[in-house]
Amino acid sequence: MVQAKRTPFKTLAGLALVAVVTSGCANFGPKASTPALALGTFPDQYPEDLAAEGQPAAPAPLESFFQDPTLQGLIKEALENNQERALVLQELRMAKNEVQARGGELWPFLRLGGGWDREKVGRYTRHGAVEESLELTHEKNFPDPLSNFRLGAQVSWEVDIWRRLRNERDSAIMRYLSSLEGQRFMVTHLIAEVAETYYALRALDSRLAILNNTIGLQKDALALVRLQKDAAVTTQLAVTKFEAEVLKNQSERVVLQQERVQEENRLHFLLGRYPTELTRPSEDFAELQPPSLAIGLPTDLLRQRPDVRAAERAVQAAALDVAAARARFYPALDLSAAFGAEAFQLGRFDANPASRAYGIGVDFLAPLLNRAGLKAAYGNATAEQEQALLRYQQTSLKAYLDVLNQLNALRNLSESATLKAQQVATLGNSVEAASRLFSSARADYMEVLMTQRDALESRLDLIDLREQQFQAAIRAYAALGGGAPAPDPS
């Protein structure tokens, strides 16, 4: 350190005065200007045949939409234990730390410390010649070799005249908020996947119940056919046909059981746990109705969809990055100061003011030779801003089409399920009639077989349609932006 003639208090007062003056100039820098989030001809209304008038603008709360208590418990468990969500939360924590790091760069850096070194200069060096002359004149009063003990504080501060540091901090904040929305988007789809898997399991339960019931009926018919064959009323061909039909359905039952095992394990994975028993209601899945939806307006998607909001935050962050990159073309102002004590012996630290040392520095640097690199960085920031705007437009378009697809699916599947339920009721009566006629030898065995097969296929088709209805309702709910609770990155 270099000892100055001014007192430390005057030095620090001068540093504070420079800081105040330069801080007052900090608002002259380039401020970020977010580009207009143009969406072209974004629709104001959904098609009249898909949306009812007067519906609320926001999706129903999670507990109101999924009213099954078993499903509510599974969703809660998934939100607590799912590993993918835990990974995303750690990414949120890193984004939050980045905000704190960027904010810390706005403030002065203070370093406290000390040090020691020992030096022996050569006799025929410049310093050696000075020491020898002092020794000859008896003016040398310090030891040789010479130690140096240091203790003090150093302050450095880059004054944010052009708002570069604040724009970088604000950009980190926007990216953090974008990450929060991305986490909500991920949670929305996690909830939808848990719900879809749960209803897929309940649909498989109903398929197996229907198949077991059909196999029981066919076994009864097979026993009757065998009695008729023994009485020479029918032939071995009828017995063979009924046996083949029973074996076919028994084989299909094994396939469905394997599908149920896979769906159960998939649900366990989403819940973040190893397989255990999954209890669920046993009522007929074909009798269930999917939950109703509050659709609102297409413009509601811009504030309800997490992915759209995340894309909007990304556009704002990119605009701040452009402003920060532009500020790098301007001169930078760095202030520095140091204050402490130095002595060649520890016992002389208290010598005042002889051991005191302090200094102040002001650097005003402008880039000259590296402007090509700065221009390239500015060009990249501008291109990334354009990319962010295009992604926002693309995400908004996808959000609208997602909702439109699911609303169309709900309407068409509802009409198809209504017709299929009528077919099931008709074929159910036909099975009873065919069985009575066959028992009294008034119907052919092939009529019974075909009627039973048609009835089974229609009931299984109804289960498939009902499952697709639930999937469409769940996906529409997620597409409308519902389902995700507020994230907690702490």
For the ranges 35-49, 79-93, 182-196, the maximum mean pLDDT occurs at 182-196
Q: What residues have CB less than 8 Å from 122, skipping those under 6 apart?
A: 128
Q: What residues have CB less than 8 Å from 166, skipping those under 6 apart?
A: 26, 106, 160
Using the predicted structure, report yes or no on whether residue 130 has a pLDDT greater than 90: no
Range 31-106+161-331+383-479 has CATH code 1.10.645.10: no
- Which pLDDT score is estimated for 307? 92
- The Cα 389–Cα 409 span in angstroms is 30
- The Cα 245–Cα 233 span in angstroms is 20
> Looking at 26-35, 142-151, 352-361, which range is the least confident one?
26-35
Which residue did the predictor score with more confidence, 174 or 449? 174
Residue for token pair 């977010």 = 34
Identify the band that residue 439 occupies on the pLDDT scale cut at 50, 70 and 90. Answer: low
The residues with which 338 forms a beta bridge, in sequence order, are: 154, 359
pLDDT per residue over 366-381, tens digit each? 887 778 888 999 999 9
- Reference 336, options 159, 462, 129; nearest CA is 159
pLDDT per residue over 400-436, tens digit each? 999 999 999 999 999 999 999 999 888 888 777 776 6
- Which pLDDT score is estimated for 20? 44
Q: Domain 1-29+113-159+333-365 carries which CATH code?
A: 2.20.200.10
- Domain spans, the chain: 1-29+113-159+333-365, 31-106+161-331+383-479
Q: What share of the chain is helix, strand, coil (3-state, %, to 5)?
A: 65, 10, 25
- The Cα 243–Cα 74 span in angstroms is 42
